Amino acid sequence: MKNALWLKETIFAVLTIKMNLAFLLLGSNEGNRMHWLKYAIQLIHEKIGLVVNCSSVYETAAWGLEDQNSFYNLVLAIETEQNAFQLLQSIQFIEQECGRQRNLKWGARTLDIDILYFNDEIIETENLKVPHPFINKRKFTLVPLVEIAPSMVHPVFLISNEQLLLDCNDSLPVLKIISHLKTRF
Ligand code: AMP
């Protein structure tokens, strides 16, 4: 009887765990850029949750501070039990693990991770803004995002990622270099 109750409670707990769908932008322009992206995906798998989709890797010109090495960028869709603030802490931990130094805004970095979307939530705090405020301004974000989620609707602008890309006037180059990265470990 006690066993049956335990089983019932466990099944209820599993069924009611809330899974969140988040989209992350990963970028690297310092050191072995492909290594940092692969290592970050492994750490995301270990510390955050399941990688359910991964875009191609793109080589993109640095945006903001243009006189620096080009970036390798990709976008991941992940499922996680963490809420948006826990996810922010986890990605900052992973950035540190990948040797990230916080020096110059928009300067060179071994690894940068941005939360683009978190479900369809709108969050406006000092430390966390979701959807990411620059989604619609930068092709290095929109091109990989559209590859894996073209019809997903931006919860503030109420238009699809595909339409955001069509409307974006960023002219910096975004070049596909690798189609499939290993995302299961
Ligand atoms: P960055 O230099 O791009 O890594 O910016 C990191 C800072 O942006 C951190 O202090 C975060 O607290 C803040 N931030 C605000 N919104 C976001 C977001 N959607 N994703 C990642 N960092 C964010």
Q: What is the CATH number of the domain that holds 159?
A: 3.30.70.560
Length reported for the chain = 185
- The answer as to whether 142 is a domain residue is yes
Number of alpha helices (DSSP H) and beta strands (DSSP E) in the chain: 5, 8
- The answer as to whether 79 is a domain residue is yes
**Alpha-carbon distance 180 to 159, whole Å?**
28
- The answer as to whether 42 is a domain residue is yes
**Alpha-carbon distance 133 to 44, whole Å?**
23
- The answer as to whether 183 is a domain residue is no
- Ligand 1 site, residue 103, Cβ cutoff 6 A: no
- The answer as to whether 119 is a domain residue is yes
User: How many separate domains does the chain show?
Assistant: 1
- Ligand 1 site, residue 128, Cβ cutoff 6 A: yes
- Ligand 1 pocket test, pick from 115, 117, 121 with the greatest ligand atom count within 8 Å of Cβ, gives 115
- The answer as to whether 121 is a domain residue is yes
- What are 87-146's pLDDT values in tens digits? 999 999 999 999 876 665 666 789 999 999 999 999 999 999 999 999 999 999 999 999
Q: Which residues are catalytic?
A: 100, 109, 112, 114
- The answer as to whether 7 is a domain residue is no
- What are 72-86's pLDDT values in tens digits? 999 999 999 999 999
Range of the domain at 115: 18-178
Among 69, 68, 62, 90, which residue's Cα sits nearest to residue 78?
90
Q: Which two tokens stand for residue 26?
A: 């990963």
